[in-house]
Amino acid sequence: MTTVLVTGASGFVGTALCKKLGAQGHVVRRAVRMAASGPDTVAVGDIGPATDWSAALGGVDCVVHLAARAHVMRDTAAAPLAEYRRINVDATIMLARAAAAARVRRFVFLSSVKVNGERTADRPFTEDDTPRPEDAYGISKWEAEQALSKVAGETGLEVAVLRAPLVYGPGVKGNFFSLLRAVARGIPLPLASIDNRRSLIYVGNLSDAVMRCIDHPAAAGKTFLVADGADVSTPQLIHAMAAALGAPARLLPFPPALLRGGAALFGKMATVSRLTDSLQVDIGRLRRELGWRPECALAQGLAETARWYHARVGARSSTE
């Protein structure tokens, strides 16, 4: 059995990962911010460069570092990049050095496709592409990857990095949840004319990839892009969402150029770009070197997400 410390254990990805790790026989130690609630959890407080990890790392074989300052659409921080660096870079370095000092063997870091960039044109991103992060979140993840490589070289800690695109599944939040809700409510969406391709990953597939990085000897010192392996256009995604939800897909034709123009006028360019641009990743290295395959197809992942959504909406309605 492998003892695995998971940071961000109570979050969207962390919850799914801890469940799978336990089912596979791993000993899971959950790092949480608030007071610990059970023998398998440890409270570490707010994660930052001064966090004390000593109580969490004893006897741990592998750290999976999920906790991060996530991408913020409306950032109110006075210095957003500095805040991203404090949590996503400095805190990661502190944890990695503490792990190495505690003789932890492996450190799996969840990064982001934003390290590669925001959009693709003629081909998917690969791990060999020159990183071109554009926003503070992507910059901080790339800097964290570089810092981890340095720590690994100095200490012998085995570091594996996964760069993920948009993650969906039960418990999803943010833009994906907003789109899911709009489709469930039958809201007409002016997105029928979009011709793009986006890579996504189901949270269960991402959990499987993390577990492969925990165990596989070839994962040490490597960076992998991860996705479901079947890219879809925005209209295709909405049709698949509608089928899973049992709702109609109400898509209206509208020139994408006008959508972008209106988005620029109203300060919504980032949101519209995620609906109109392409962003694809090549998962060939993960397949070849670790023998990983995504087990859950888009339709199945969306069906699980839809069941969760209906249960959530039903539970909320029953209390109103």
- pLDDT exceeds 90 at position 239: yes
Give pLDDT tens digits for 173-190: 989 999 999 999 999 999
- Residue 108, domain member (yes or no): yes
* Per-residue confidence (pLDDT) for residue 106, from 0 to 100: 97
Q: Is 160 exposed, middle or buried (0-12, 13-18, 19+ CB in 10 A)?
A: buried
- pLDDT exceeds 80 at position 45: yes
Task: Work out the average pLDDT over 251-264.
Answer: 87
- Residue 72, domain member (yes or no): yes
Q: Which amino acid is at 241?
A: M
At residue 172's C-alpha, the angle toward residues 169 and 178, to 5°, is 115
Round the CA-based radius of gyration of the chain to a whole number and report it: 20
In order of 111, 122, 166, the CA distances from 133 in angstroms are 12, 18, 16
DSSP letters for 103-136: T--EEEEEEEGGGT-S--SSS-B-TTSPP---SH
- pLDDT exceeds 70 at position 73: no
- Residue 236, domain member (yes or no): no
- pLDDT exceeds 90 at position 46: no
Give pLDDT tens digits for 263-320: 777 777 788 888 999 999 999 999 999 999 999 999 999 999 999 999 988 666 545 4
- Residue 82, domain member (yes or no): yes
User: How far apart (Å, rounded) are the C-alpha atoms in residues 294 and 196?
Assistant: 22
Share above pLDDT 70 across residues of the chain, in percent, rounded to a whole number:
94
33: left (phi over 0), alpha (psi -120 to 50) or beta: alpha
Give pLDDT tens digits for 86-136: 999 999 999 999 999 999 999 999 999 999 999 999 999 999 999 999 999
* Per-residue confidence (pLDDT) for residue 197, from 0 to 100: 96
At residue 278's C-alpha, the angle toward residues 173 and 8, to 5°, is 30
Among 1-15, 69-83, 236-250, 267-281, the range scoring the smallest mean pLDDT is 69-83
- Residue 27, domain member (yes or no): yes
Mean of the per-residue pLDDT values for the chain?
92
Q: Which amino acid is at 240?
A: A
Of the candidates 190, 210, 202, the one whose C-alpha atom is nearest the C-alpha of residue 230 is: 202
- Residue 238, domain member (yes or no): no
Q: Is 257 exposed, middle or buried (0-12, 13-18, 19+ CB in 10 A)?
A: exposed
Confidence of residue 43 (pLDDT cuts 50, 70, 90): confident
Confidence of residue 202 (pLDDT cuts 50, 70, 90): very high
- pLDDT exceeds 80 at position 143: yes
Domain range for 27 = 3-172+200-229+280-295
- pLDDT exceeds 80 at position 77: no
Domain at 23, CATH number = 3.40.50.720
Q: Where are the alpha helices (DSSP H) in 24-68?
A: 54-57
Q: Which residues are catalytic?
A: 137
- pLDDT exceeds 80 at position 78: no
- Residue 225, domain member (yes or no): yes
* Per-residue confidence (pLDDT) for residue 71, from 0 to 100: 64
- pLDDT exceeds 80 at position 55: yes
Residue bearing the bigger pLDDT, 38 or 204: 204
- Structural domains in the chain (count): 1
- Residue 187, domain member (yes or no): no
- pLDDT exceeds 60 at position 214: yes
Of the candidates 281, 148, 278, the one whose C-alpha atom is nearest the C-alpha of residue 206 is: 281
Q: Where are the alpha helices (DSSP H) in the chain?
A: 12-23, 54-57, 80-84, 91-101, 136-155, 174-184, 203-215, 234-245, 256-265, 269-276, 284-290, 298-318
